Chains A and B, each alone.
Chain A
């Protein structure tokens, strides 16, 4: 059993420090994933919290995959459900991605770059955006992606490839990369 899964099991058994570890290690990424799918900061907050609570309560049949992928799948499904429930508009301005450890100026620049990056990812066409989010923020393997998207593994791989190509092109246009 991998260390990550052990953390989940310990948290499930009531170990507070494992619960805090899960929050610290996974919450920011899950929140970013939920934000990229829904475009809503408060919703992404709720989804990230709900993901961890559901993970604690879920009966996991297969622990061969990674815990990151497991959590990513829950968060992605919750986010999709939320998108279907509310057709929300993008609200990039409210997203606080400030890294408290940075000095202020660097922090502001990083925050701005992250905002532009978030816009860029959300501007990708839906198939590419979905593939990129699942791979980079859900941390799903190609096999897990294929399952969740209902496509062959080869298709999942090619979607990620074209998504990354498209994202790199847009990033270059916006001056995020050289």
Chain B
């Protein structure tokens, strides 16, 4: 008796045999041939082993959130985001509207008259700093 080729047995075990007639022939042969049946069982065992890796199970599943609770928590998150957005937005708006701060600095320069004594005098401001830009006073 001719035995079934191993590749054909593997295709049969994987269910990828497209030819219905061929599949039927294999089934008929398997019914009569113990050697081919044994070979098929071996292939199936190998396939089972190939797919046998399993990750370990955590002791407890994470709790299931009821859909209503999920909806409530989603609404809560949205409300919180909105509130944060409003606060941040208001803060930025306030910052933009703030009046510029004028600073009249007094520059410390070495006084020629007291230079030899390592002394300094405060000269009257000639520049004004406006938001990090220094412009001549009076402009």
Q: A11-B64, A19-B64 are in contact. Are A31 and B54 (CB under 8 A)?
A: yes
User: Chain B's interface: helix, strand, loop or mixed, by majority?
Assistant: loop
Given contact pairs A160-B14, A161-B10, A164-B50, A19 touches B56 in the complex (Cβ within 8 A): no
In this assembly, does A174 line the interface, its C-beta being within 8 Å of a C-beta of chain B? Answer: no
Contact B64 A45 (CB under 8 A): no
Q: Least Cβ distance of A110 to chain B in Å?
A: 9
Task: Please give, as numbers and ranges, the residues of chain A lying within 8 Å of B67 by CB-CB distance.
Answer: 12-14
Is the Cβ of B47 less than 8 Å from the Cβ of A164? yes
Min C-beta distance of B117 to chain A, whole Å: 69
Given A20-B61, A165-B10, A28:B56 Cβ within 8 A:
yes
On whether the beta carbons of A99 and B46 are closer than 8 Å, the reply is: no
| Contact of A136 with B51 at beta-carbon distance under 8 Å, contacts A20-B61, A23-B61, A177-B46 already known | yes
A49 touches B52 (CB 8 A): no
Cβ–Cβ contact A137 & B51, under 8 A? yes
Tell me the minimal C-beta distance from A76 to chain B in angstroms. 14
Q: Are B54 and A160 in contact (CB under 8 A)?
A: no
Nearest-CB distance from B114 to chain A (Å)? 68
**Residue A143, interface by CB 8 Å:** no
CB distance from A132 to the nearest CB of B (A): 7
Does B73 lie at the interface of the complex (its beta carbon under 8 Å from any beta carbon of A)? no
B57 at the interface (CB under 8 A from A): yes
* Interface size classification for chain A: 35 or more
Residues B50 and A132 in contact, CB atoms below 8 Å apart: yes
Q: Given A14-B64, A157-B16, are A45 and B50 also a contact pair (CB < 8 Å)?
A: no
Determine if A29 and B54 form an interchain contact, defined as CB atoms under 8 angstroms apart. yes
The interface on chain B, measured as residues whose beta carbon lies within 8 A of the other chain's beta carbons, has a size of 25
Q: Is the CB of A167 within 8 A of B50?
A: yes
| A28 near B57: Cβ-Cβ < 8 Å | yes
Complex contacts, B55 vs chain A, CB 8 Å: 27-32, 34-35, 44-45, 48, 95-97
> Secondary structure of the A side of the interface?
helix
Bitwise, A10-25 to B at CB < 8 A (1) or not (0) is 0111111001100110
- For residue B7, which residues in chain A have a CB less than 8 angstroms away from its CB? 165
A171 within 8 A of B: yes
**B123 adjacent to chain A (CB < 8 Å):** no
List residues 55-108 of chain B with CB under 8 A from any CB of chain A: 55-58, 61-62, 64, 66-68, 70
Query: Mind listing 27 A-B residue pairs with CB under 8 Å?
Result: A14-B68, A19-B61, A19-B64, A27-B55, A28-B56, A29-B54, A29-B55, A32-B55, A34-B55, A96-B55, A96-B56, A97-B54, A97-B56, A98-B56, A121-B50, A142-B16, A154-B18, A157-B14, A160-B16, A161-B16, A164-B10, A165-B7, A165-B10, A167-B50, A168-B46, A168-B50, A177-B46
Q: Which residues of A are at the interface with B, using a C-beta cutoff of 8 A?
A: 11-16, 19-20, 23-24, 27-32, 34-36, 44-45, 48-49, 53, 56-57, 95-100, 114, 117-118, 121, 132, 136-137, 142, 154, 157-158, 160-161, 164-165, 167-168, 171, 176-177
